[in-house]
A and B are shown apart, each in its own frame.
Chain A
């Protein structure tokens, strides 16, 4: 079976400027979304606070739960009902969390008449730890990007490394923007998702680059693609050919991984679901950016490309 004909030859690089421009727009949009709406979306992992997830044995109105929580008078508290599981509620207290606030809320909930409840989860994150989680997360992402930059420079060339890093950065920011836009709360899991995405995205980019590298070696031996007047034109042609040659692998792998992410997103339960949501869109962006962000950057930096006709 073949999803794409092996004789496929799309001139991807012809559209590179238009696509890079739209990538830039998307990137700026994501940054704006993050800056505008992000701070409201930081979960207790980052800003500290208390979260209580309770399951009532019988159906309860959200208004009843809210009233009980309000009666505890702990300042700003939010009550949310989980989709699908109508008896599960999440209660969050973000304000300067007193250590005891979970206990106080439990007492208040016990006063709702006629229903019993069970504590599914009870989290308290102090402000110091929240700050630490944020700092470690940013540090991890920066280290990962730097590590890749070094690895790719050693294994390929600096311009390839730079192309890949910019593409990964582009993917991370856009995915975070998308995640914030979807109304989900940013938790520590998002850092893991972004790092996994970086790993995945570079994976994708490397396969394309590997082929470009191989074709460069091959054509410098045979001079097989010396079609154009300028060596720069020849290089673009070679890049195009490399993308086309690896296209079916790129898309097949993405589809296979998307399958898995989709089921995890739909069925994995709240923690895994948010993580998989992030990866699902991240993989789509990552696949796109390997071809339309990373590779055009290599071309743009490749004016002094070796003469492939020699």
Chain B
């Protein structure tokens, strides 16, 4: 054996050992010592069971809610300067209008807006019967920034909520401009997941309107948790942003679950002020536009602690605490696609896919040596190695094996044999034309080289396109198909070549077993 060949053989042997080491945990997870560095191959949701969700973020709502809060803040700021703004209204996609009963406060309003909210531009002014309505519009640039950051924030909030849900290896990623993909392995209850992820969890504190005051006072109505509606003052006193921690408590007197909130310092000061100014009034706690409870303020509350009561079941209270801790979504989500796979279907699929692939492989493994004798045996050994390399590559690249991925694996076996067939047929031809064994092998591999390359590279091309444009399981298929082509080229053109060369070298003149 020449030293060049010996080096190559040693290289390939080392590679095989390393790959065996990498693939081992996938098959013998429990029998390996703890220090073993490689991890088992990652299984996709379709094999493992779990929930796959695609959500659209309704980013236009984020703009509206930003404008609503600007309106509310401006009103309360101007009120402290002695200017009464009768109404602040969001209209269209990005317009905010203020209504003043007289034009006396107009300069102050315009001044205030210019100083505090430069991204809102004054677009029109309307005077009818003494009333003045000024319309501001958010610039397009600002609007698209708000939309983009809404998606980022939503991802952050969803991640927080999922973390609290205790799912192992969740995947949360952006999909295109306004979509979010969430993959939760091993989770079964899709409706619970949707509720946890999809609730906006917008928390507001408002005072309940005093029925004795005139109906002219601006007010809003909200549904009550106990049925019916409540009339509330339109000013939002505090929002969920100031919640620092939230946990479930059982009230020792009523034995009902309630959610205790710990507010951050800003919130604590705010809450202190609200409670001291409104003793005797009812404070409504509103979650996603439904009033949860309207406790009466008996005394000033310091220390930033608050409770939400409302005859919750323990599950409801727990859910509430989770969403309040994780924060509110900047905009509502719309569920665009949901796929749930039960664990037993996953197990069935693995069984079916693996059996079918094994039988397919065995058929190929029998056919090879039958048709090409010793060379065929080498070819199927190379096929086996090809599968080993491919699995190792999947582990190294942390790719996920999906059900179509298994099909891709089986298909790789069928197509990988093609490279060997092309080469062997070529060697046979050269032999028939009267070439010596070594020359036939040399010429066979040389002439087959481009046919093999061209045919595999075009398949790789469609694999890459599948990966780029496919979703979920199709991506999994594209990954195994594409990586399979890379390993096929290596094992058919390099490893198999090495083996065939060795028969040629040991048998220069006799009949070649091909």
**Are both chains from one complex?**
yes
A245 at the binding interface (Cβ < 8 Å): yes
A272 CB contact (under 8 Å) in B370, B406, B474: B406
Which residues of B lie under 8 Å from residue A140 when comparing CB positions?
A: 465-466, 468-470
Chain A residues near B (Cβ < 8 Å):
1, 3, 6, 53, 55, 99, 102-103, 118-126, 128-129, 133, 136-137, 139-140, 143-144, 147-148, 151-152, 155, 188-189, 191-192, 195-196, 198-200, 202-204, 206-207, 210-211, 214, 245-246, 248-249, 252-253, 255-257, 259-264, 266-269, 271-272, 275-276, 279
A257-B420 Cα distance, complex, nearest whole Å: 13
A119-B188 Cα distance, complex, nearest whole Å: 9
Contact B462 A199, beta carbon cutoff 8 Å = yes
The digit string for B330-345, where 1 denotes a CB below 8 A from any CB of A, is 0000111111111011
Which residues of B lie under 8 Å from residue A147 when comparing CB positions?
A: 461-462, 465
Contact B338 A124, beta carbon cutoff 8 Å = yes
Which residues of A lie under 8 Å from residue B352 when comparing CB positions?
A: 267-269, 272
Which residues of B from 366 to 414 have beta carbons under 8 Å from A? 367, 370-373, 403-404, 406-407, 410-411, 413-414
Contact B340 A200, beta carbon cutoff 8 Å = no
B477 CB contact (under 8 Å) in A155, A192, A204: A192
In the assembled complex, the CB of B67 is this many whole angstroms from the nearest CB of chain A, namely: 26
Which residues of A lie under 8 Å from residue B46 when comparing CB positions?
A: 271
Contact A263 B363, beta carbon cutoff 8 Å = yes
The digit string for B448-491, where 1 denotes a CB below 8 A from any CB of A, is 00110011111101110110111101100110010000000000
Which residues of B lie under 8 Å from residue A200 when comparing CB positions?
A: 415, 459
Contact B458 A259, beta carbon cutoff 8 Å = no
| 9 shortest interchain CB distances as A-B pairs | A269-B352, A260-B360, A257-B414, A199-B459, A120-B345, A203-B455, A260-B414, A199-B462, A122-B340
Name the prevailing secondary structure of the B interface residues: helix
Chain B residues near A (Cβ < 8 Å):
46, 54, 56, 188, 190-191, 334-342, 344-345, 348-349, 352-353, 355-357, 359-361, 363-364, 367, 370-373, 403-404, 406-407, 410-411, 413-415, 417-418, 421-422, 425, 428-429, 432, 447, 450-451, 454-459, 461-463, 465-466, 468-471, 473-474, 477-478, 481
Contact B340 A269, beta carbon cutoff 8 Å = no
User: A120-B342, A122-B190, A272-B403 are contacts. A195–B360 as well, Cβ < 8 Å?
Assistant: no
Contact A121 B470, beta carbon cutoff 8 Å = no
User: A192-B404, A275-B404 are contacts. A207–B455 as well, Cβ < 8 Å?
Assistant: yes
B458 CB contact (under 8 Å) in A3, A120, A151, A214: A151
In the assembled complex, the CB of B53 is this many whole angstroms from the nearest CB of chain A, namely: 9
Which residues of A lie under 8 Å from residue B339 when comparing CB positions?
A: 121-124
Contact B359 A263, beta carbon cutoff 8 Å = yes
In the assembled complex, the CB of A264 is this many whole angstroms from the nearest CB of chain B, namely: 5
A271 CB contact (under 8 Å) in B404, B410, B457: B404
In the assembled complex, the CB of B386 is this many whole angstroms from the nearest CB of chain A, namely: 14
In the assembled complex, the CB of B52 is this many whole angstroms from the nearest CB of chain A, namely: 9
A202-B451 Cα distance, complex, nearest whole Å: 11
Question: Which chain A residue has the least Cβ–Cβ distance from B478?
Answer: A192
Contact B455 A202, beta carbon cutoff 8 Å = yes
A118-B342 Cα distance, complex, nearest whole Å: 8
Contact A259 B360, beta carbon cutoff 8 Å = yes
A204-B451 Cα distance, complex, nearest whole Å: 10
Contact A129 B342, beta carbon cutoff 8 Å = no
A121 CB contact (under 8 Å) in B54, B335, B345, B461: B345
Contact B410 A264, beta carbon cutoff 8 Å = yes
Known: A202-B455, A259-B363, A264-B410. 7 other contacts (CB 8 A): A1-B370, A120-B345, A199-B461, A203-B459, A210-B451, A257-B411, A269-B353
A263-B367 Cα distance, complex, nearest whole Å: 15
Which residues of B lie under 8 Å from residue A203 when comparing CB positions?
A: 415, 418, 455-456, 458-459
Contact B340 A195, beta carbon cutoff 8 Å = no
Contact B335 A126, beta carbon cutoff 8 Å = yes
Contact B471 A136, beta carbon cutoff 8 Å = yes
A36-B207 Cα distance, complex, nearest whole Å: 63
In the assembled complex, the CB of A216 is this many whole angstroms from the nearest CB of chain B, namely: 14
A125-B188 Cα distance, complex, nearest whole Å: 18
A262-B425 Cα distance, complex, nearest whole Å: 25
Contact B462 A196, beta carbon cutoff 8 Å = yes
B466 CB contact (under 8 Å) in A125, A129, A192: A192
A150-B478 Cα distance, complex, nearest whole Å: 21
Contact B371 A267, beta carbon cutoff 8 Å = no
In the assembled complex, the CB of A17 is this many whole angstroms from the nearest CB of chain B, namely: 28
Q: List 12 A-B contacts (CB under 8 A).
A: A55-B344, A119-B342, A123-B338, A188-B471, A206-B451, A214-B447, A253-B421, A256-B367, A256-B414, A256-B421, A264-B360, A272-B353
A119-B340 Cα distance, complex, nearest whole Å: 9
In the assembled complex, the CB of A51 is this many whole angstroms from the nearest CB of chain B, namely: 9
A191-B340 Cα distance, complex, nearest whole Å: 21
A33-B422 Cα distance, complex, nearest whole Å: 37
A124-B51 Cα distance, complex, nearest whole Å: 11
User: A259-B367, A268-B352, A269-B348 are contacts. A144–B415 as well, Cβ < 8 Å?
Assistant: no
Which residues of B lie under 8 Å from residue A124 when comparing CB positions?
A: 335, 337-339
Contact B415 A148, beta carbon cutoff 8 Å = no
A290-B447 Cα distance, complex, nearest whole Å: 20
Question: Which chain B residue has the least Cβ–Cβ distance from A275?
Answer: B407
Question: Which chain A residue has the least Cβ–Cβ distance from B363?
Answer: A259
In the assembled complex, the CB of B412 is this many whole angstroms from the nearest CB of chain A, namely: 9
